[in-house]
Amino acid sequence: MSDIHNKATDNYSFRRQAWDKFKSDLPALIGLGGIVVIAFLALAAPLLANERPFLFIDDHGVSFPFLRYIFAPDTTETTIEKCFNYFLLLLPLAVFLRLWLKHRIYWLFLGIIAVALLLPFWFTSPRMDRTDWRQEQIERGAFAIYAPIKYGPYSQIGIPYEKPSLQHLLGTDEVGRDVLSRMLYGARVSLSVGLFATGIALVIGTVIGLCAGYFGGWFDLVIMRIVEIILCFPTFLLLLILMAMLKEQKFEQSILLVILVLGLFGWIGLCRLVRGETLKQRALPYISSCEAAGLPVWRIMLVHLLPNVSGVILISFTFGIAGAIISESSLSFLGFGVETPTASWGAMLRQAFSDPFAYWHLLLWPGLALFISVCAFNFTGEGLRRVFSPLDRN
């Protein structure tokens, strides 16, 4: 019993020390705060910018036009939109349950709610809705509650290339869509590509790096030669060629395509780092003790090796998100990334390319958002590097 208590105390102590060191790093805290703000804006985008009223009351009764959009988004990128909307509903429920339920019961109820919440997303069919709700409100004399920004990312409601004004705080784009609304939904694209593409690369790189470092010999030799061959190719040019080829297949959900391509070609650097750390850990006595005790290979790799190389994985994951965001924006800027009319910061920059000085608002706001996002993840990654670096532990 005392061993279990001591182990829990040690784990708590390590987490506490890591957090204390992280929060003493001002740039890292600023970066973490930036990530939280960007994630909040991406999750809450439908609550902040939407042309459909949350509540609509007229002589025919009460309706909630906004709900159908949450469960069945009116967009071609349905998978990503549904993922964000799902967590938009699940996270507040998780926080509310945590305040009232104990640990074991909490996870049971949260699992039930998480599964139940999938059902409306699965069974609600999308429906094209082009109703002008503001006009309907005037004609019916209805009462309605709207989002703070009464324009969706696809609503063509303004003059093309309109400068920032009280009606459109960040102006409009080339077809009269509200830039602020598209900026919020563009955060969803950047975060989804950053997280999911880097997640795919993390899984592939970690598995291959662990296996190459642990087994060594001919397996390591073959894997590293393959890695070196892939490194010889200009990665971004290869991405452009693949995106051009795949887009000819008329794949509607272009975000998933970008995620897949970036994920499948972003694991090389992480693989080499994990292999190096695994080789270092492989030579330590605790691995020899595990092998002498007859532990299966999968247990040695997952339970003993993986936690000891998790620091470099977490750091690489944070930096990788920033790199994936830049790559997606670059592809979209060149016309090989996310398809219109889906909002993307890189595609918005492209709209200002013909005359950057005249369309400065389409250059400034997406560029500033990209700068802040990349800096936030890089600052956080640098803070994590200092936490996990043995030379910086005092």
* Mean pLDDT, residues 309-316: 89
Rounded to 10 degrees, what is the CA torsion of 146, 56, 91, 25? 10
219/305 same-domain check: yes
> Is there a domain that residue 30 lies in?
no
92/224 same-domain check: no
> Is there a domain that residue 212 lies in?
yes
71/217 same-domain check: no
pLDDT for the residue 253: 67
* Max CA distance (Å), the chain: 81
Residue 5 pLDDT exceeds 50: no
237/386 same-domain check: yes
239/387 same-domain check: yes
138/211 same-domain check: no
Q: How confident is the model at residue 8 (pLDDT cuts 50, 70, 90)?
A: very low
> Is there a domain that residue 12 lies in?
no
> Is there a domain that residue 19 lies in?
no
Residue 57 lies in domain: 37-145
Q: How many domains does the chain have?
A: 2
Q: Which residues contact 339 (CB under 8 A, 6 or more apart)?
A: 76, 247, 252, 254
Q: How confident is the model at residue 72 (pLDDT cuts 50, 70, 90)?
A: confident
Q: Give the SS3 label for residue 67.
A: helix
Of the residues 94, 125, 145, the one at which a domain ends: 145
The CATH number that applies at residue 298 is 1.10.3720.10
Tens digit of pLDDT for each residue in 222-234? Answer: 988 888 888 887 7
246/376 same-domain check: yes
User: Mean pLDDT over all residues of the chain?
Assistant: 86
Q: How confident is the model at residue 256 (pLDDT cuts 50, 70, 90)?
A: confident
* Mean pLDDT, residues 1-16: 54
> Is there a domain that residue 24 lies in?
no
Residue 261 pLDDT exceeds 50: yes
* Mean pLDDT, residues 16-37: 88
275/330 same-domain check: yes
69/216 same-domain check: no
What does the alpha-carbon distance between residue 172 and residue 361 come to, in Å, rounded to a whole number?
A: 8
Preceding omega of 164 cis (within 30 degrees of 0): no
Q: Count CB neighbours of 168 within 10 A.
A: 23
What is the DSSP code string of 226-295?
HHHHHHTS-HHHHHHHHHHHHHTT--S-HHHHHHHHHHHTS-HHHHHHHHHHHHHHHTSHHHHHHHHTT-
What does the alpha-carbon distance between residue 297 and residue 33 come to, in Å, rounded to a whole number?
A: 40
116/183 same-domain check: no
Of the residues 120, 145, 170, the one at which a domain ends: 145
* Mean pLDDT, residues 150-165: 88
pLDDT for the residue 204: 93
Residue 245 pLDDT exceeds 80: no
> Is there a domain that residue 17 lies in?
no
